[in-house]
Structure 1
Amino acid sequence: MNISYVLVVDDDPAIRGLVGDALRSEGYVVDLAAHGREALDAMRARRPATVVLDLMMPVMDGFSFMEACHYEQLCDDVPIIVISAVHEALQRMNEVPVHACIAKPFDLDDLVRTVGQFARPNGRAH
């Protein structure tokens, strides 16, 4: 596992880009996925230090992603940070193992700090 590698999963390209750019500017290596199925493919290829995950997405939502991810033992030791605008979805977080939940709209600096609790930027001490 690369301790600086973060996988960002969100169906909104603007949010994916914004979060990805912010993390890259802090020294993280970032991959982007538009839905859970793309995220699973990315995790099969390379295990991230942490995942930033939207819940409500087409093709495969965040809940289905987490179920498949744990079934395949891809994320047993990978912290998951959930971001979601849907209050009901955030209330379901006790059903799945996540390390942090952030409601949309979110403060980008807060998200970057939260990622920093689980991953380390290239060349920086944790």
Structure 2
Amino acid sequence: MSDASDVQGAVDGELRLMHPVVRSSRALALELLDPEFVEVGASGRRYTYEEMIAGLPDKPGSSADGPRYEPSDIRGVLLAPGLVHLTFETVFAGRRARRTSLWRKRDEETGWRMYYHQATPVPPDTA
């Protein structure tokens, strides 16, 4: 695989995780989150894999008729074989956040899975 296809695999997973159908399904989220997953949310709270799988269907962005994450400027870098770093920005319900995630691929069967995610709120007056 090329660097570009590895990065695209991670981007595809990131976009899937923002989709309400995936967010509302623990089974689909299990396919995209690494068992060693950790998140530091925009609130500063730390989430484990177990907490995220249990709570994702109730989190914002999980309802088909509610607000959706609007990602922009997604960039990725292959850090090492099987490890991609993504950075991007989202708008959700009028609030901006800068985000970063690490995606890892242990084998072809499991594919790309999010290993780490962090969100940082962007103040309204920031360019």
TM more than 0.5: no
Q: Name the structure with the higher strand share.
A: 2
- Select the structure of larger CA radius of gyration: 2
TM-score by length of 1: 0.27
TM-score by length of 2: 0.27
